Structure 1
Amino acid sequence: MPFFSTRGRTPRLAPELDDAVLGKLLKRLLSASRSSMPGETEICVAQIAQLLEQDSQNTDRRAHRLSVLAEFLAESHLPGAWAKQEPRNARALALQAWSQLERGRGNGRMTDAAATWKACLLAAELDPADPSPWVVMLGVARLERYAEREVFAVWNEIVARDRWNREAYLSMLAHLSPQEAGSLAQVLEFVGSLRTRMPANAPCASVELAAHVMQYHSAVARGGTEALLARNHWNGERAAQFLDRALATWPSPAFFSHAAAVADLNLLAYALTAAGGPRETAPVFDAIGGKVTSWPWRVDGDPVLAFETARSKAR
């Protein structure tokens, strides 16, 4: 990944991260959404299909592209148009279902969870090795508060296909949190089970750090003395050790190979900033360039401004 490029250093929200081909398609789709040219839908659908068939064996890259496109197109007619055009295309079905999930997240509930679930099952039948339909089903199960046995049944289907699926682990972390269906004890148990088995550079390597950031945010949100002392979370043995290990390895351009590595670096930069170590954070910002993720920076207001302020302190 071109972490140390001298280009693109001006901070901007970059949902595509360092996927330049995806970034070009997002710009093309944005331009098309403002156009009324005949045949525009067909052209856009063809470009989406072509992108999702590239690197067809790289399920991690395809999942990243699917998730970004789904959020970008959540209110668009394009996913539905593609699925209608090719009703037995696993990619089309997965994108349609994922975009419906993203729309549901925005609204707080699914419009038709059963239809989305059915589309995922068909996509899984058409491509049994692909974990993405099951990742979408996990999201639906969380949003619709399905029974715990259904959530874990879907979880088992995902890890059987992709042992370290990043999206699935972060989704399950959120499900087990006190804000959803679990507790802090369940979060700690989940993270602890990963700590001894997961490769250090696995696609889901950020799960433990995400758990720490969630605990930090919870303390800040409670206000009062807890908010004032929230920074002390990063002085705890587990948190401090994790930050030290991540700082020593994550910024290296050869360490990570998964598609969302830049998102993990954003999370690390945020955590180091929250811990009060601005000078230590400089190598991480260098590795990020100017590619800003909305979360976790948005918790402090405008994400680009929060990122830029933290980066200026680091320098």
Structure 2
Amino acid sequence: MAFLSSRRKKARLAPELDDQELGRLLKSLLATTRTGTIATTDLCVAQISRLLDQEEGDWDRKGHRISVLADYLAASHLARSWTAREPRNANALLLHSWTQLAVGRSQGRLESADAVVESCLRAAEILPQDPTPWVILLGVARLERWEQSQAFGVWNEVLARDRWNREAYLNMLGYLSPDEAGSRMQVLDFVDALGARMPANAPCAATELTAQVVQYQAVLDRGGFEALVARNHWSQTMAAQALDRVAHTWAQPGFLQHARALADLNLLAYALLAADRRREARPVFEALGGTVTEWPWRAGGDPVTEFDQGQRRAMAGQ
């Protein structure tokens, strides 16, 4: 994670975050996929395969890379082509499955949930120690509104392989929300149970703050008087405590080391500004080095513009 001097870098969207190898691969894919030839497909597959093979056993990094690649390749046939060529390649199956999930999220439904489930289970057979197939299945559970017994069964499979898997916790947070298959009380119970035993710098450390930001943005979305006083959310005990627990530790060099640490710092910067705690937001922006994530900034408009304006306010301390 890059920490800055007082000189600010230009704000920019970077789905790879600080993963430089992934960033180079995305640029290479952009340059080589335009022709659509067989040779191009072979080259792209080789590059992706090489990158994913590097992180075998680092499930946090692998999950980050596959999720970013899946979003990037959602409109292409590359992942499908790779699976067709290598049907016993677990990473090909996982990338294809996550790509289908990315398309399903954008459309509100999966084209074929059964096909995604089958691909994930085949990958799980090939790599039984890998939590990634089960993480993808949690995403399927959300879109398909699986019964809670099924969703929790998949959840337990993830935890057996990767106790603090970031994507899994955020998926369960969404699944248990009143907008999906749960209730506000279930969200509170889930967050409370996590906080009681989670290491402060675990990959899933942002689960509690994510829940608070989601609730805050829901108030903004209702508009009217509620939106005008939405800032009051951050003076409530649970929201204030969630911020207090992380405001002075996350931006410290080396404290957060997981693959999506910069995404969590974006969340923290946003929440501190929403709570009008601008001085505390300043070191967070400095730690980000201009790296912007779509969420949560897109709730206010263009993410880069929102981030840049927030950064200026934090640096001014006003």
Question: Under TM normalisation by the shorter chain, which class is it?
Answer: over 0.9
Query: Given the superposition, is the C-alpha separation of residues 36 and 136 from structure 1 closer, same or farther in structure 2, using an over 3 Å criterion?
Result: closer
The CA distance in 2 between the partners of 1:153 and 1:6, in whole Å, is: 48
Partner of 2:124: 124
* Structure 1 segment 143-162 matched on structure 2, within 5 A: 143-162=143-162
In the aligned structure 2, how far is the partner of 1:268 from the partner of 1:125?
38
Q: Distance in 1 between matches of 2:31 and 2:8?
A: 21
- Give CA-to-partner distance per residue, 1:146-197, whole Å, 9 cap, x none: 2221111111111111111000000000111111111111111110111111
Other-structure match for 1:246: 246
* Counterpart for residue 314 of structure 1: 314
Task: Give the equivalent residue in structure 1 for 2:215.
Answer: 215
Amino acid at match of 1:272: L
RMSD: 1.4
What code does the residue aligned with 2:153 have? A
Per-residue deviation at 1:225?
2.2
**What's 2:172 paired with?**
172
Point out the more displaced range, 12-21 or 238-247: 238-247
Whether contact under 8 Å (2:8, 2:286) holds in the other structure is no
1:242 Cα shift? 2.3
Find the aligned partners of 1:83 and 1:5 in 2 and give their Cα distance: 45
Moved more, 239-248 or 191-200: 239-248
Note the C-alpha offset of 1:88: 0.5
Distance in 1 (CA, whole Å) between partners of 2:275 and 2:170 is 22
- Extract unaligned runs of 5+ from structure 2: none
Q: AA paired with 2:118? A: K
Shift in alpha-carbon separation, 1:36–1:138, aligned structure 2, 3 A? closer
Q: Distance in 2 between matches of 1:216 and 1:59?
A: 31
Give the aligned partner of residue 182 of structure 1: 182
Asked if the contact 1:5/1:289 (under 8 Å) is kept, the reply is no
- In structure 2, the partner of 1:24 is 24
Query: Which segment is superposed worse, 297-306 or 270-279?
Result: 270-279
Aligned-residue sequence identity (percent) comes to: 57
Amino acid at match of 1:136: I
Q: C-alpha offsets along residues 97-150 of structure 1, whole Å, 9 cap, x if unaligned?
A: 000000111111111110110000000000001000111111011101122211
Structure 1 residues 198 and 306: CA distance shift in structure 2, 3 A: same
Quick one: distance in 2 between partners of 1:36 and 1:285?
Answer: 40
Separation in structure 2 between the aligned mates of residue 21 and residue 78 of structure 1, nearest angstrom: 19
Equivalent residue for 1:191? 191
Q: Measure, in 2, the Cα distance between the counterparts of 1:76 and 1:189.
A: 40
CA offset digits 1:188-215 (Å, max 9, x no partner): 1110111111000000000000000011
TM-score of the pair, normalised by structure 1 = 0.97
Partner of residue 110, structure 1: 110
Following TM superposition, where does structure 1 have runs of at least 4 consecutive aligned residues deviating by more than 6 angstroms? Answer: 5-8
Q: Residue 289 of structure 1 corresponds to which residue in structure 2?
A: 289
- Tell me the equivalent position of 1:80: 80
The corresponding residue for 1:14 is 14
- The answer to whether the Cα contact below 8 Å between 2:138 and 2:151 also exists between their aligned partners in 1 is yes
TM norm structure 2:
0.96
Contact 2:2-2:289 within 8 A present in 1 as well: no
CA distance in 2, matches of 1:38, 1:230: 53
- Could you report, residue by residue, the CA deviation over 1:241-267 in whole angstroms, capped at 9, with x for unpaired residues? 221231210001210110000000000
Q: Report the number of matched residues.
A: 315
Aligned to 1:42: 42
Q: Is the 8 A contact 2:2 2:288 kept in 1?
A: no
- Alignment partner of 1:93: what SS? helix
Out of 216-225 and 101-110, give the one that drifted further.
216-225
Q: Secondary structure at the match of 2:103?
A: helix
